[in-house]
C-alpha cells in the first residue's frame, strides 16, 4: 500500500482535466435527483434504504455509484429506471418526473436478460419493432449496433451460443437500439472473469465516446469505477445517503497505463477511506494471537 503521505491530492487537477470539468458542468443536467428517499415496509421494522439523496448528472457524462453493500445502489437505480417508486423527493429526466419505465432509459443488469428464443439480431431489434419503427431503418440500425459491440458476425446466433461477455454486449446493443438518453447499468460486468471484464470496459468506453448517451453505472469494483467514470457518487449506508461526489482527476481518453498513475492511486485511496474507513493500525499488532512472529528478526533491524 502506498504511504498516505506519498499520495498526491485527489482534488488536484491538471489544466486539461479542470477544463474538462468546467465544460462538463456547463452542460445541461439531464438527470436531476432531489432529496430522494425510499422506505421499505411499515414501522416498526421498516428499512430506510435511501434518505435525502440529491445529485445532478450532465449530458454525456459517465457517472458511477459505489458504496458498501446495502447502501441503496440498486434501489436508487431501480427508482431511476421506473421499476421502483420513491417514498419522498423527486427524480427527473429532461425535466420530467420519472414515474415508470420509459424508452429514455436503457437498462443493463448483471444477469443477462436476453430473450433466449430470439437471435442476437432479434434481441437487438425487439424494442424498435415494438415501437413500430420502419423495418428498413431497423435493419440498418442493427448492423450498426452489432458492429459497435464487435458482434457483426453473430447476428443469427442464439444467446445460448454466446459467452457471458458476448451476451452482455448484446444486452448493451439492445439497450442502445432504443436510443436512450441515459443508460442505467447495474453491476453489468460483475459476473465476468477479469480478462473479459477489462475487454468489456474497453468496449464501453469506446461506445460512450462515439454514442450520444449518458451513463450511470453501479459497481463494487473501485478500480473499474475510477477507470470508466467522470465522477463517482459515493453512498453511505443506513440509511443510504450521498457521502461525496468525487471528480476523477484523470485525462481522457483513458488508457490501462493510468491504473498506475499517482492520481489514480490517490483517488483510489480516497474511495477506500470513504467506503471502508481508515485501516485500523491495531490490526498490525496482533500480538494477542501468540505463537512465533516470523518477522521478529526483521523488526529488530
Size of the site for ligand ADP (CB under 6 A): 12
Please give the order of strands across the beta sheet that includes 88-93. 47-58, 29-40, 88-93, 96-97
Are the beta carbons of 162 and 124 closer than 8 angstroms?
no
Out of 72, 122, 165, 171, the only residue in the binding site for ligand ADP (CB under 6 A) is: 72
Is residue 75 near ligand ADP by the rule CB under 6 A? yes
Q: 122 is written with which cell numbers?
A: 432479434
Out of 70, 89, 164, 190, the only residue in the binding site for ligand ADP (CB under 6 A) is: 70
Query: Residue 225 or residue 250: which is nearer to ligand ADP going by CB?
Result: 225
Strands (E), the chain: 29-40, 47-58, 62-66, 88-93, 96-97, 105-109, 182-186, 214-218, 231-236, 241-247
Q: Segment contacting ligand ADP (CB under 6 A): 71-79, 169-177, 193-201, 279-287?
A: 71-79
Q: State the Rg of the chain over Cα.
A: 22
Query: Residue 83 or residue 211: which is nearer to ligand ADP going by CB?
Result: 83
Query: Residue 75 or residue 123: which is nearer to ligand ADP going by CB?
Result: 75
Question: Rounded distance, CA 107 to CA 83, Å?
Answer: 11
Query: Residue 41 or residue 134: which is nearer to ligand ADP going by CB?
Result: 41
Query: Residue 142 or residue 225: which is nearer to ligand ADP going by CB?
Result: 225
133-142: string of b/e by CB count within 10 Å (b at 16+)?
A: beeeebeebb
Convert residues 30-69 into a mask of x (bound to ligand ADP by CB under 6 A) and - (unbound): ----------xx-----x-x-----------------x-x
Give the residues lining the site for ligand ADP (CB under 6 A).
40-41, 47, 49, 67, 69-75
Amino acid at each position: 500500500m502506498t504511504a498516505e503521505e506519498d499520495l498526491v491530492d485527489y482534488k488536484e487537477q491538471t489544466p486539461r482535466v479542470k477544463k474538462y470539468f468546467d465544460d462538463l458542468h456547463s452542460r445541461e443536467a439531464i438527470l436531476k435527483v432531489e432529496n430522494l428517499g425510499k422506505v421499505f415496509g411499515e414501522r416498526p421494522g421498516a428499512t430506510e434504504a435511501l434518505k435525502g439523496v440529491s445529485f445532478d448528472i450532465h449530458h454525456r457524462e459517465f457517472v458511477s455509484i459505489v458504496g458498501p453493500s446495502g447502501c441503496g445502489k440498486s434501489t436508487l437505480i431501480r427508482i431511476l429506471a421506473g421499476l421502483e417508486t420513491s417514498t419522498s423527493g423527486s427524480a427527473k429526466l429532461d425535466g420530467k418526473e420519472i414515474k415508470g419505465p420509459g424508452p429514455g432509459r436503457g437498462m443493463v443488469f448483471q444477469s443477462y436478460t436476453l430473450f433466449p428464443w430470439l437471435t442476437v439480431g432479434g434481441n437487438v431489434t425487439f424494442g424498435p419493432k415494438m415501437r413500430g419503427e420502419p423495418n428498413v431503418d431497423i435493419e440498418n440500425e442493427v448492423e450498426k449496433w452489432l458492429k459497435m459491440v464487435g458482434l457483426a458476425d453473430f447476428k443469427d446466433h442464439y444467446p445460448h451460443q454466446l459467452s457471458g461477455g458476448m451476451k452482455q454486449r448484446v444486452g448493451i446493443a439492445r439497450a442502445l437500439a432504443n436510443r436512450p438518453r441515459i443508460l442505467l447499468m447495474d453491476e453489468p460486468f460483475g459476473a465476468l472473469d477479469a480478462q473479459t471484464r477489462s475487454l468489456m470496459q474497453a468496449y464501453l468506453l469506446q461506445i460512450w465516446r462515439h454514442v450520444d448517451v449518458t451513463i450511470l453505472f453501479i459497481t463494487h469494483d473501485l478500480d473499474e469505477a475510477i477507470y470508466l467514470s467522470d465522477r463517482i457518487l459515493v453512498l453511505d449506508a443506513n440509511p443510504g445517503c450521498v457521502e461525496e461526489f468525487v471528480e476523477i482527476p484523470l485525462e481522457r481518453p483513458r488508457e490501462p497505463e493510468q491504473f498506475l498513475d499517482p492520481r489514480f492511486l490517490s483517488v483510489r485511496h480516497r474511495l477506500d477511506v470513504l467506503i471502508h474507513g481508515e485501516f485500523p493500525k491495531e490490526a498490525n499488532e496482533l500480538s494477542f494471537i501468540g505463537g512465533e512472529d516470523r518477522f521478529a528478526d526483521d523488526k529488530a533491524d
